[in-house]
Amino acid sequence: MRNTLLGFLFLTAFAANAQPMLSNGFGSLAAINGAGYQKTTNIGTGNFGNVTGSYDGTKFFASGANTTANKVYYVDAATNSITDSLTLPSNGGDIAGYKEANTLFMNRGTAMYRINTATKTYDSIVIGSPFRIEERPNSKEVWVAADSMIYVVNYVSALSTNTIDLTSNKFDNADVRFVKGGSIAYKAANSTKKIYKIDCNAKTVADSIDTAPYGFAAVEVSADSSKVYAASSNKIYVYSTATKALVDSITSNKQVMNLYMHPTRAELWAVHHFADSVSVYNTTNNAIIASFDIGNDPFFLAFATASSGISSTGAVHRTLLYPNPANTAVHLSFSKIAKHTVVIYNNAGIKVTEQTTVDKQCSIDLRNLPAGSYYTAIFDDGKYVDSVPFVKY
């Protein structure tokens, strides 16, 4: 019971690394408190096309639209402010950037760009009509949906492509969604009324779910990979990945544009473009958790901690933190010996202390911190690996 209560306190109090941000088609970005299920502020005044979270969870990247379509904006996740920008050739499209340090992948014109966000340099590879982009977990690959094709861009050294042809029909530009670990991907094709299951290692279609009479564009995979969610109008249909059967559905009073699994909680987030809002569902029982307005015709959603396809339930941590609640100090035990950095945030998302160690354990002095709920972000050699909440009394 205590662990459950502490988890609840964490989710409702902490905003920074659990905070998603929506891109809005007509006017601004919306910063959202993902723990409190509410919009906190508008960011910027122009039109924005796409958003993604950064590798370390500290910032977002947002592509411009209309008159600023050649811009990429840097947004600080803690302060909800635009801090920098870069200019690129041609108009921008979908972006992804949570897997590699200082690296942003972006569709622009007839190419996919790899951008070094620190030096603002880039290279690119030509792709026919790139539309959606997603980083494959546990690999050096970016998957780009382009009409009926998926271009698998390998970036071990130079950029190179492999292709997966799903159908002979065009304009099936839906997102690719990966299971945790990245061994399987799912992509809907509205023209054939199928959701394709793709073997990511073999780069071949392994199976498909027949969704007739329904056709889908937006799909998402549950954290345990047992279900595929697919949106059509004001319905979210639920398919079993094992039996390929339609097993459930969720009815919304608003049309669903896009679907996202929360990266650390068993939640499905639905974006309502035409209703200026977002709804959140419990993926255990499909019950609605929250529905709230954010304005400005939202399209896409980005989380500070990660992107879709690497979801977990949030119940298992690689780091052991004790005691919890704590008073004078907390002790952390890591899964291996490495250079670990522990950053502690308060319940307002403000960093209060930071400590680096090369041992398998460390202790952090809490005596100067006021009582309250806190959040630790753990980095392994600069890469975000875990987050553990605790309470100081």
Examine the fold and report which residue of 263, 278, 303 is the final residue of a domain before the chain moves on.
303
Query: Both 284 and 378 in a single domain?
Result: no
Highest mean pLDDT among 16-30, 78-92, 206-220, 363-377: 206-220
Query: Both 294 and 325 in a single domain?
Result: no
pLDDT of 315 higher than 50: no
Please give the average per-residue pLDDT across 21-50, as a whole number: 84
SS3 154: strand
> Quick one: pLDDT at residue 246?
97
> Quick one: pLDDT at residue 349?
62
**Residue 177 located in a structural domain:** no
pLDDT of 108 higher than 80: yes
pLDDT of 306 higher than 50: no
> Quick one: pLDDT at residue 307?
46
> Quick one: pLDDT at residue 375?
77
> Quick one: pLDDT at residue 348?
59
pTM of the predicted protein model: 0.75
Please give the average per-residue pLDDT across 224-234, as a whole number: 93
Question: What pLDDT, in 10s, does the model give residues 181-196?
Answer: 899 999 998 888 999 9
Examine the fold and report which residue of 243, 274, 303 is the final residue of a domain before the chain moves on.
303
Query: Both 293 and 332 in a single domain?
Result: no
Query: Both 134 and 265 in a single domain?
Result: yes
Lowest model confidence (mean pLDDT) among 17-26, 109-118, 121-130, 305-314: 305-314
Q: Which residue did the predictor score with more confidence, 114 or 325? A: 114
Query: Both 256 and 298 in a single domain?
Result: yes
> Quick one: pLDDT at residue 161?
93
> Domain containing 279: what range?
2-167+252-303
pLDDT of 320 higher than 60: yes
Provide the number of structural domains found in the chain. Answer: 2
Please give the average per-residue pLDDT across 347-355, as a whole number: 78
Q: Which residue did the predictor score with more confidence, 207 or 128? A: 207
Please give the average per-residue pLDDT across 318-342, as a whole number: 86
Please give the average per-residue pLDDT across 99-111, as a whole number: 91
Question: What pLDDT, in 10s, does the model give residues 36-95?
Answer: 788 989 999 888 889 998 887 788 999 988 888 899 999 988 888 999 999 998 787 899
CATH, residue 375: 2.60.40.1220
